[in-house]
Amino acid sequence: MSDTAQAATAEKPEEKEADHHPYYRPKDAATLILVDRSGDVPKVLVGKRHDKVVFMPGKFVFPGGRVDKNDHRVPVAAPIPPELETNLLKGSPKISASRAKSLAVAAIREACEETGLCLGRKAEGTKAQLDGAWQPFADAGLLPDPSGLFLIARAITPPGRVRRFDTRFFTADASAITHRIDGVIHPDAELVELVWVELGSKPLADLHPMTKNVLGELEKRLATGPLRHDAPVPFFHFHGGKMQKDVLAA
């Protein structure tokens, strides 16, 4: 997860709600948790951050980051499922369908940028349709495919922070990975290592507390069988200096 997405959930247990900064409206962000369910115990993909980065050095994180202003314009290989769009439209403030698409698409873009793993499908004419951050998809002849995403949770950075983010946490099965870009992970990159780790293993115990909350929600969902869009989606936010957990509702 990039600095942006990590900041979206950053709240140390001993910290209280800060009031020394003016109100900042949270920015949209998205995180993607890739899951490998081919074995007896599900595994999730985490990346180890460089030891010399300022924020969370050496920690294992999930890929993610801020939504780009043009993400809603990016053509996709398949639309997001109506049930996923319904979940994204729940809660407050109310958002548009294009903004819901931006959140799902951003999760795919960030995962590809930070891990080199891309969720997409082959399509004709992609080079003319994609550019900028989407160049790796264009080079591979792919369009992003959000059809296999599920919304697991939403979390908002506490008030009083200079950087505030409204993050949606998505998951997708590892089988949705259709392309791998070489050279993204290396000793000088933001993420220096990628590891598939079993749920409940040691690297996951070192995750940020809020991220562990979200992972716990995913683990509960996986324990009930195949992922479904009609499962309750938790919403983590802060009120009066304390974390609240609600369920997103229409």
Domain, as residue range, for 37: 3-247
Q: What total of structural domains would you count in the chain?
A: 1
Q: What CATH number did the domain enclosing 138 receive? A: 3.90.79.10
Could you give the dihedral angle defined by the CA atoms of residues 72, 62, 58 and 53, in that order, rounded to the nearest 10 degrees?
10
Q: What is the DSSP string of 155-202?
A: EEPPTT-SS-EEEEEEEEEGGG--EE-TTSS-TTSSEEEEEEEETT-H
Decide if 60 contacts 192 (C-beta within 8 A). no
Assign 94 to helix, strand or coil.
coil
Residue 132 has pLDDT above 80, yes or no: yes
How much is the pTM? Answer: 0.88
Residue 4 has pLDDT above 50, yes or no: no
Residue 37 has pLDDT above 60, yes or no: yes
Report the distance separating Cα 145 and Cα 129, nearest Å. 14
Report the distance separating Cα 35 and Cα 175, nearest Å. 9
57: exposed, middle or buried (C-beta count within 10 Å: 0-12, 13-18, 19+)?
exposed
Cα-Cα end-to-end distance for the chain = 28
Assign 152 to helix, strand or coil.
strand
In total, the chain counts a number of residues equal to: 250
Q: Residue 107: which of 65, 165, 148 has the closest Cα?
A: 65
Q: Residue 167: which of 94, 239, 69, 64 has the closest Cα?
A: 64
- For 8-22, what is each residue's pLDDT tens digit? 444 433 334 444 555
Give me the mean pLDDT over the 181-186 stretch. Answer: 90
Judged by average pLDDT, the poorest of 43-52, 55-64, 180-189, 193-202 is 55-64
Give me the mean pLDDT over the 58-73 stretch. Answer: 90
Report the distance separating Cα 41 and Cα 121, nearest Å. 28
